[in-house]
């Protein structure tokens, strides 16, 4: 009987991944609750993962090379969400283990909707307007700007970036993108120089880590704002805080951070709170995503245990080695 290791999770619209997996005839092993990316103990690795066939990863924990190496029978580690930066994908590829993720349409839409909300909130100075009302001032003379007529620059032109673009139709904006893997898009420096709004939609790789630092921020217009709903490691947070404090850019909205949970000494927390919106890596979360996410995670498991490829393989270069391993694991 195949063993699936999954995080404990509440039912979504009455559906639980644990129950679906058990009903399919597989053994389910739950990881202990907890987050903060606390390392697994040696005992936990031995008890939970050494004979696991599949791991459904939780974003709150790390899955390093040492854990993957200990899981001798592991065929698949699938993220329960879009992001896989908590999984050592390079190590998985080296070990012949497939990595997949869950691209629930509602998750993509939720992030896209949230991105536009954050852009408009920054330009219209929403936080300052609310603060002054709560402070007893009514209709003060605040400076704010419309999104209409602006140029929105998308850094990364994948599913979420394109979903943002689709939802900006009718807003009267110019949308441009920078993505080295999409022909016809701009170079990043050109995008930064010519956009009023910068919105990041990248996965975290060696290429994208720290891609927005002091030099890149210095190319932006002083009136421009930047939104990051992708991955915290793509932006050098100290440089972003310095640019905001110096007035080099007008503001920022950040939902993801280099270290999560966020360190309370993160320099962004000390910035002018009227010009910076910070949310706890949950801005696009919605109850509508739950059933789709459970269905896709189940399908990922089901496909792999039948010897088939799941819909969205992250490390496609592993497929030949993965197929060679399968007969040894049956």
**pLDDT tens digits for 76-125?**
999 988 889 889 999 999 999 999 999 889 999 999 999 999 999 999 99
Told to judge if 148 belongs to the known catalytic residues of this protein, a careful annotator would answer no
Q: Check 61, 75, 201, 231 and give the catalytic one.
A: 231
Q: What are the residue ranges of helices labelled H in the chain?
A: 17-23, 42-44, 65-70, 89-94, 105-123, 126-134, 159-167, 188-194, 214-219, 237-245, 289-305, 319-329
Alpha carbon distance 23, 98 (integer Å): 24
**12 vs 198 pLDDT, higher one:** 198
Residue holding tokens 């709004």?
197
Alpha carbon distance 187, 264 (integer Å): 35
Averaged pLDDT, 288-313: 92
Q: Check 260, 288, 299, 302 and give the catalytic one.
A: 260
Question: Is 0.85 surpassed by the pTM of this model?
Answer: yes
Alpha carbon distance 226, 228 (integer Å): 7
Averaged pLDDT, 50-69: 93
Give the pLDDT band of residue 209 (cuts 50, 70, 90): very high
DSSP state of 232: G
Alpha carbon distance 119, 88 (integer Å): 32
Averaged pLDDT, 139-158: 96
State in Å, rounded, how far the first CA of the chain is from the last one: 10
CATH level 3 topology of 105-278:
Rossmann fold (3.40.50)
pLDDT of 10-51, one tens digit each? 655 556 899 999 999 999 999 987 666 778 999 999 999 999
Check if 3-101+287-329 and 105-278 are the same fold. Answer: yes
Report yes or no: 176 and 195 within 8 Å, Cβ to Cβ: yes
pLDDT of 223-237, one tens digit each? 999 999 999 999 999
The pair phi, psi for residue 292, each rounded to 5°, is -65, -40
Domains of the chain, residue spans? 3-101+287-329, 105-278
Told to judge if 260 belongs to the known catalytic residues of this protein, a careful annotator would answer yes
Domain 3-101+287-329 has CATH 3.30.1950.10: no
Contacts of 290 (CB under 8 A, 6+ apart): 12, 13, 15
Told to judge if 145 belongs to the known catalytic residues of this protein, a careful annotator would answer no
Q: Check 61, 162, 275, 281 and give the catalytic one.
A: 281
Alpha carbon distance 108, 164 (integer Å): 9
Bridge partners of 302, per DSSP, are none
pLDDT of 161-192, one tens digit each? 999 999 999 999 999 999 999 999 999 999 99
Tokens for 9, please give them. Answer: 């999770």
């Amino acid at each position: 009987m195949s063993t699936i290791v999954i995080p404990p999770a509440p039912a979504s619209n009455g559906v639980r991944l644990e129950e679906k997996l058990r009903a399919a005839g597989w053994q389910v092993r739950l990881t202990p609750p907890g987050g903060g990316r606390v390392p697994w103990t040696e005992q936990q690795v031995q008890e939970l993962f050494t004979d696991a066939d599949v791991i459904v990863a939780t974003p709150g924990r790390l899955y390093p090379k040492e854990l993957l190496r200990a899981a001798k029978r592991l065929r698949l580690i699938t993220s329960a969400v879009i992001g896989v930066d908590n999984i050592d994908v390079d190590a998985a590829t080296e070990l012949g283990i497939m990595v997949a993720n869950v691209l629930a349409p509602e998750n993509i839409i939720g992030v896209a909707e949230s991105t536009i909300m954050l852009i408009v909130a920054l330009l219209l100075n929403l936080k300052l307007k609310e603060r002054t009302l709560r402070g007893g001032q009514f209709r003060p003379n605040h400076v704010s700007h419309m999104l209409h007529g602006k140029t929105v620059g998308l850094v990364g032109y994948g599913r979420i970036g394109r979903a943002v673009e689709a939802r900006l139709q009718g807003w009267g904006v110019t949308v441009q993108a920078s993505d080295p893997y999409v022909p016809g898009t701009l170079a990043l420096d050109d995008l930064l120089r010519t956009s009023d709004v910068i919105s990041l939609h990248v996965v975290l790789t060696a290429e994208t880590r720290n891609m927005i630092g002091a030099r890149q921020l210095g190319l932006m217009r002083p009136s421009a704002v930047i939104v990051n709903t992708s991955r915290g490691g793509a932006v050098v947070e100290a440089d972003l805080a310095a640019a905001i404090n110096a007035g080099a850019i007008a503001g920022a909205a950040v939902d993801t951070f280099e270290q999560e949970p966020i360190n309370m000494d993160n320099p962004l927390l000390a910035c002018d709170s009227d010009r910076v919106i910070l949310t706890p890596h949950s801005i696009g979360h919605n109850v509508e995503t739950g059933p789709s996410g459970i269905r896709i995670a189940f399908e990922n498991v089901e496909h792999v245990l039948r010897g088939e490829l799941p819909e969205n393989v992250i490390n496609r270069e592993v497929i030949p080695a993965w197929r060679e391993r399968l007969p040894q694991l049956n």
